[in-house]
Structure 1
Amino acid sequence: MDADAGPVGVEDVAETTASTLASIGNRIREVRLARGITLQALAQMSGVSPSMLSLVERGRASPSIGSLIVIANALQITMADLMAADEPKQDRVVVHSADAPIVETAKHVVRRLLRQDRDRGISVALNEYEPHTGSAERPISHEGFEYGFILEGELTVEVDGVGHKVVAGDLIAYSSRRLHKIWNHGTRKVRTLWFNLERD
């Protein structure tokens, strides 16, 4: 190695880190605004202070993995959505299970993202809810529309304060603008196929 080279890659690492933080912050802001969520509302939903969220959105702070999980969960997206580059424009005819990114949300729901198609405004995910886990402690709302198909087990989906029990083979559909909460009150794992549309 050249003795005059100095510290190798330090500036490159710093530049990459700053670029990554800026990209994550921009994505958070982009999704938040697209769904009509204020900074204060996102702070309340995620438990992250408005000042910290502002710094994160501007790429001025380095959020912890835990903070990113709760922010992504509040926005109803995955951490992979925040950190991964956009998929190539060409359609993938098959998405193999091994290629689908897996993220565990703040409430310990395991989400396998099968398809995130931003051009068409739809995401498809296989979600697994262990007993006594769910989407959030309190009902939330955001832009879009969602369909949930129960593959295995029983879920309680609360929409505008009304609880709906759905079991294997059932489909539930509602505007995401309505206050909603998804929870597994049972003792068995629940598996679902969830479709989220960005528009009503």
Structure 2
Amino acid sequence: MDIDIGARLRSLRAQYGLSQRELAKRAGVTNGTISMIEQNRSSPSVGSLKKVLDGFPIPMSDFFASDFSSRRKIFYSKDELTRISEGKIEYKQVGRDLTGKALQVLHETYPPGADTGRNMLSHQGEEAGVIIKGKLEITVGAERKVLKAGDAFYFESHHPHRFKCIGDEAAIVVSACTPASF
């Protein structure tokens, strides 16, 4: 099976919103190198391709394994959500590969008593969500509140935070995080 390295690189670069010149600068290669690879007029060595991919950065294995086609999936059935967690709390993500994406949307399920742990979470960006079912105790910094179905939250994620299911039924949340960092 022949792999169109030029088309893959062009699609990946477009997903990151980079011009050929910007990618060349990041990777420490010439603009002409990027152009020749994308036009399949040059077949890069493994070392050269690795150097170009370091401009994103993306591992070479992901470059060959991921789908960088320009066809973007818009609609997802519940079975197509990507489970990104192990353990009691279930996090299902809309979309598979969020490389270069600014937004992450999650469907979260917290069984009764489940929480994100004693250590507060903290990361770059912002988070927002709506409680769909159950009750969820949310702590952000020194503030704490129990939210129920229909209630919502929005905060800057660099503030230490944690989530805990309160009551006898699972809490279901639909949330968004930007940038895609969870």
Q: What are the ranges of 5 or more consecutive residues in structure 1 without an aligned counterpart?
A: 1-81
1:134 corresponds to: 115
- 1:126–1:198 CA distance, 2 compared to 1 (3 A): same
1:196 to 159, 177, 180: 177
1:166 paired to 2:147: yes
1:114 corresponds to: 94
Aligned AA (1:169): G
- 1:86–1:121 CA distance, 2 compared to 1 (3 A): farther
Distance (Å, rounded) in 2 between the aligned partners of 1:87 and 1:187 = 41
Query: CA offset at residue 118 of structure 1?
Result: 3.6
Q: CA RMSD of the aligned region, Å?
A: 2.1
Aligned partners of 1:97 and 1:114 also within 8 Å: no
Q: Deviations over 1:146-189 (max 9, x none)?
A: 00110001100000021111111111000000010011122110
1:102 paired to 2:83: yes
Superposition pairs of residues 30-179 of structure 1, within 5 angstroms: 86-88=66-68, 89-106=70-87, 108-115=88-95, 117-179=98-160
The TM-score with structure 1 as length reference comes to: 0.52
Q: Deviations over 1:70-96 (max 9, x none)?
A: xxxxxxxxxxxx9xx655353212112
- 1:162–1:123 CA distance, 2 compared to 1 (3 A): same
- 1:93–1:143 CA distance, 2 compared to 1 (3 A): same
Distance (Å, rounded) in 2 between the aligned partners of 1:186 and 1:105 = 22
Aligned AA (1:132): G
Q: Deviations over 1:85-125 (max 9, x none)?
A: 6553532121121111224434x101111135443311111
Bigger CA radius of gyration? 2
Aligned partners of 1:125 and 1:193 also within 8 Å: yes
SS in 1 for 2:79: helix
SS in 2 for 1:91: coil
- 1:86–1:176 CA distance, 2 compared to 1 (3 A): farther
Which protein has the bigger helix share? Answer: 1
1:181 to 152, 162, 182: 162
Distance (Å, rounded) in 1 between the aligned partners of 2:163 and 2:103 = 19
SS in 2 for 1:94: coil
Number of residues paired by the alignment?
115
Q: What are the ranges of 5 or more consecutive residues in structure 2 without an aligned counterpart?
A: 1-61
Superposition pairs of residues 5-20 of structure 1, within 5 angstroms: none
